[in-house]
Amino acid sequence: MFGLFKSKEKKIIDEVVKHFKIVKRAADNIVSLDVEHNKDKIIRLVEIFNESNTSALRILYEAQNEFKLLKNTDDIQFVNDKYNYVRELHPLCYMSKKDYSKFQEVTANAVMGIYGEYKGL
């Protein structure tokens, strides 16, 4: 019942959080899996990551004109500090440098088709 009274801004943030939680789960799994033995899973996880990440960022940037949620569009940093918890769901912000480097390498290799056919964005 209380969901009926949420502001449009809060509904947008909730939708972004939903997508970024999927992004976080996919990124964590990409880093934890052994690439040599899980190529098909990695490709699928990268597809999921890219789809959800793109959706979340699209929602944020489309809402930017109306709500001015972000301080600047180059970084996920909110004007209203109460939404900064969303930032911690993105791999760039919460992963260690070592994990993020592995994540970037594996993701790039999957997109380039090194592990097999990539069908994502």
Q: Which two tokens stand for residue 39?
A: 């190529």
User: pLDDT by residue (tens digit) across 74-117?
Assistant: 788 889 999 999 999 999 899 999 999 999 999 999 999 888 88
Q: Interior CA angle at 13 toward 96 and 54, to 5°? A: 60
Q: Give the C-alpha separation, 114 to 4, whole Å.
A: 47
Instruction: Note the pTM of the prediction, 2 decimals.
Output: 0.90
